[in-house]
Structure 1
Amino acid sequence: MTGERLEARIVVARHGFDLDAVVSADAGEVVAIMGPSGAGKSTLLGALAGLVPIHEGRIRLGERTLDAAHRPRVHVTPSQRGVVLLGQDPRLFPHLSARENVAFGRRARGAPRARAAAQADEWLGRVGLAGVGDRRPSQLSGGQQQRVAVARALATEPSALLLDEPLTSLDVETAADIRAMLREQLIATGTTAVVATHDAVDAVSVADRLTVLEAGTVTQHGRVRDVLAAPASRFVASVSGLNRVLGASDGRWWRSGELILAPGALPAGAPSAAVFAPSAVRLEPAGPARDAASRAGEWTATVVRLEQTPAGVRVRTAEPDVAADITADRAAGLAPGTLVRLSIAPEEVRFIPA
């Protein structure tokens, strides 16, 4: 099985929302689409699948045009595209066994019953479900149902596979297992795939490239590692687990509110962002009044909120918006409105163009 190159420019105009995005994937490549809720990820996948009409643009898969908004208008029906869309709900046929669910697509294409069943058993084995072919969906766990759905999708040998946050409804351990299985099978089959997700772990584990969609527009695109290391927006910084603070250099110092840093080789006046990890920020109680910073890399700020993390507490502060990770015991006594003193070592900060 070999996927085909996907190239699309998709414009969808709806009341109160416009999507105008370009997405592409080389044959056999996996591209992740990330963005906040309401950014247009599901609309984008729906258009690629032929379920959402486009108002402008064109969608091509290999040598075929699937959609063209201008004359001669083209719209290939979803069933004829060679594209499979898999969402959070596995949508298995409840009256069919796991084997029959996986064989369904092959049977619909005219494969003999016995051969389709044999291929279904082979696929169930590939996704870690050997021996469960006779079970109905009601006899399977949520994770097992999602594995059956993946097997059913890949068994049809799609030219492109679209995944709309397929792991969201699963527990952490099950999601990790299916994530690894999915990556393994996409590589083994050479399937072109577009994965919409809100989880950076999905992008890192499954995808080759990452496209960020915000308010219907692509704001960043590139290799997954490159995008997450140099976030171009607050959203990307958040999913990357980084602080991204906007400021500017006067040639000697880089400033953002009370935060002053040595800017390195940044040109004077150029807007830029300081990027650093919350774990690199040191936090101490401040005096009763807001004091001027004693030196570069030190500043006072007001606590906005506290968030629990697996390792302790993340303290969110304002002016500028900075997060600091501390242990739970050190968070005792902190509350919204508390003044704290923050500091960051110069070697912990990277500057990127804004």
Structure 2
Amino acid sequence: MSRSSDAAAGLSARVAVRRGAFVLDAALQVPAGGVVALMGPSGAGKSTLLRVVAGLAPFDEGHVSLGPRTLDDGPGRRTPPAGRGVVLLGQDPRLFPHLSARDNIAFGLRVHGAGKDAASRTAADWLRRVGLDGVGDRRPAQLSGGQQQRVALARALATAPAALLLDEPLTSLDTETAGDVRALLHHELARTRTTAVVATHDAVDAVALAGGLVVLEGGRVTQAGPVREVLADPATRFVAAVGGWNRVVGTTDAATWRAAGLTLPRPGASGASTATAAVFRPGGVRIVAGPPARPGEWAARVVRLEQTPAGVRVRTAEPDVAVDVVAEHATGLGVGDTVTLRVHPDDVRFVDLVAGRVS
């Protein structure tokens, strides 16, 4: 099936949605044939934004454009979902239970005008592409969760959408299956040059699938840019946590940075007092014996202990810092205990906070 005239069209949206106390006011730009990841905590507005772009939810003001076409511009113009060339795929594959895998894929093609035989051949080809050759006659109930998601992806891409919106498509899958479907997604999105937005909580999804990253928190975009740059330079605690960093906001004064009881040297800093975030890995922090005795050591209160595959993550307060230790080093530790922590200054990166930047 050939692509529509909007093939490899860029997606542009700026929408405001007001629903009681919740306000979504966000912009989204995806280059033609590009993939952008959309991340944010639960309730940030990711699904609402995707539903607006797909035409499934109204908005109060703004616009949605796909290539040269304006799909929505508020009350003046609204293209119905079926006429957009936009497909939204979520956690639930939403396959027709009474149709076979092949017929589920063919159904979308028939809706877009393909003949029965042509649709069946194309559906069989897509089953082969997604690694399901030989299961075309099975109904969804006879397929695993991963297989169902592959069929749903094949059905979405087979219609050659101008834009594909993926709302947490891997969340319900086990780790191994999610990895397989992620690799399939990466390959097919690149091969078909489909303009796509992937909403996810997983940094692995963002890095593996997308070139750009938009972070949505509290209904607003708090950071946007190339995926690796955003994750390496977190503007908020949420982004820092997603990227696997500690992010502690303090003040640089002369050549010293301070936050709560933590003091670190910052050679070469200007004499002006500057709001600065210190960024460092949880694995770069150590629990040491005795009271703090030098720069880079501080006393902290344990507020939570989290078991991890590699050991224990110790969460501390004042300041809020995570420490990754092997299990035996956490023996005897309890919530409320005070520990001395150490981070080597060479393992810390400082980011000066600019006016208006969320901390």
Aligned 8 A contact 1:45 1:162 in 2: yes
| Structure 2 CA distance for aligned equivalents of residues 264 and 24 of structure 1 | 39
1:306 corresponds to which residue? 305
Report how far residue 248 of structure 1 moved: 0.6
| Structure 2 CA distance for aligned equivalents of residues 108 and 40 of structure 1 | 31
Task: Work out whether 1:130 is the aligned partner of 2:133.
Answer: yes
Tell me which moved more, 25-34 or 276-285.
Answer: 276-285
Q: Deviations over 1:2-48 (max 9, x none)?
A: 42100110110101100000001001100000000000000000000
| Structure 2 CA distance for aligned equivalents of residues 301 and 25 of structure 1 | 43
| Structure 1 CA distance for aligned equivalents of residues 352 and 66 of structure 2 | 35
| Structure 2 CA distance for aligned equivalents of residues 303 and 159 of structure 1 | 50
Amino acid at match of 1:128: G
Task: Work out whether 1:81 is the aligned partner of 2:80.
Answer: no
Q: Describe the SS at the equivalent of 1:158.
A: coil
Q: Residue 272 of structure 1 is aligned with which of 268, 272, 276?
A: 276
2:27 corresponds to which residue? 22
Tell me which moved more, 103-112 or 184-193.
Answer: 103-112
Q: Describe the SS at the equivalent of 1:75.
A: coil
| Structure 1 CA distance for aligned equivalents of residues 352 and 255 of structure 2 | 17
| Structure 1 CA distance for aligned equivalents of residues 57 and 227 of structure 2 | 27
Aligned 8 A contact 2:127 2:151 in 1: yes
TM, length-normalised to structure 2: 0.95
Q: Percent identity?
A: 61
| Structure 1 CA distance for aligned equivalents of residues 130 and 21 of structure 2 | 41
2:98 corresponds to which residue? 95
Report how far residue 133 of structure 1 moved: 0.7
Q: Deviations over 1:191-241 (max 9, x none)?
A: 000011111111011111000000000000000000000100000011111
Task: Work out whether 1:56 is the aligned partner of 2:38.
Answer: no
1:173 corresponds to which residue? 176
User: After superposition, where does 1:140-179 map in structure 2 within 5 Å?
Assistant: 140-179=143-182
Amino acid at match of 2:51: G
1:192 corresponds to which residue? 195
Aligned 8 A contact 1:285 1:339 in 2: no
1:217 corresponds to which residue? 220
Aligned 8 A contact 2:255 2:268 in 1: no
Amino acid at match of 2:187: E
Q: Deviations over 1:160-207 (max 9, x none)?
A: 000000000000000000000001000000000001111111101111
Amino acid at match of 2:322: A
| Structure 2 CA distance for aligned equivalents of residues 240 and 172 of structure 1 | 19
Q: Deviations over 1:249-290 (max 9, x none)?
A: 11121000110011233443111100000000011355xxxx
| Structure 1 CA distance for aligned equivalents of residues 205 and 115 of structure 2 | 36
| Structure 1 CA distance for aligned equivalents of residues 158 and 91 of structure 2 | 19
Aligned 8 A contact 1:3 1:158 in 2: no
1:325 corresponds to which residue? 324
| Structure 1 CA distance for aligned equivalents of residues 146 and 320 of structure 2 | 38
Q: Residue 256 of structure 1 is aligned with which of 255, 259, 262?
A: 259
Q: Which runs of 5+ in 1 are unaligned?
A: none
1:41 corresponds to which residue? 46
| Structure 2 CA distance for aligned equivalents of residues 233 and 308 of structure 1 | 24
Amino acid at match of 2:318: E
Q: Describe the SS at the equivalent of 1:69.
A: coil
Amino acid at match of 2:9: E
Amino acid at match of 1:65: T
| Structure 1 CA distance for aligned equivalents of residues 135 and 295 of structure 2 | 63
Q: Residue 233 of structure 1 is aligned with which of 221, 231, 236?
A: 236
Q: Describe the SS at the equivalent of 1:213.
A: strand
| Structure 2 CA distance for aligned equivalents of residues 338 and 55 of structure 1 | 50
Amino acid at match of 1:5: G
Q: Describe the SS at the equivalent of 1:144.
A: helix
Q: Which runs of 5+ in 2 are unaligned?
A: 354-359
| Structure 2 CA distance for aligned equivalents of residues 41 and 69 of structure 1 | 19
Q: Describe the SS at the equivalent of 2:106.
A: helix
Q: Describe the SS at the equivalent of 1:76.
A: coil
Task: Work out whether 1:11 is the aligned partner of 2:2.
Answer: no
Give RMSD over aligned pairs: 1.0
1:244 corresponds to which residue? 247
2:349 corresponds to which residue? 350
Aligned 8 A contact 2:255 2:269 in 1: no
TM, length-normalised to structure 1: 0.96
| Structure 2 CA distance for aligned equivalents of residues 7 and 309 of structure 1 | 40
| Structure 2 CA distance for aligned equivalents of residues 205 and 109 of structure 1 | 31
Q: Describe the SS at the equivalent of 1:74.
A: coil
Amino acid at match of 2:295: A
Give the 4+ runs in structure 1 shifted more than 6 A: none
- Alpha-carbon spacing, 1:23–1:266, altered in 2? closer, same or farther (3 Å): farther
Amino acid at match of 2:279: V
Amino acid at match of 2:88: L
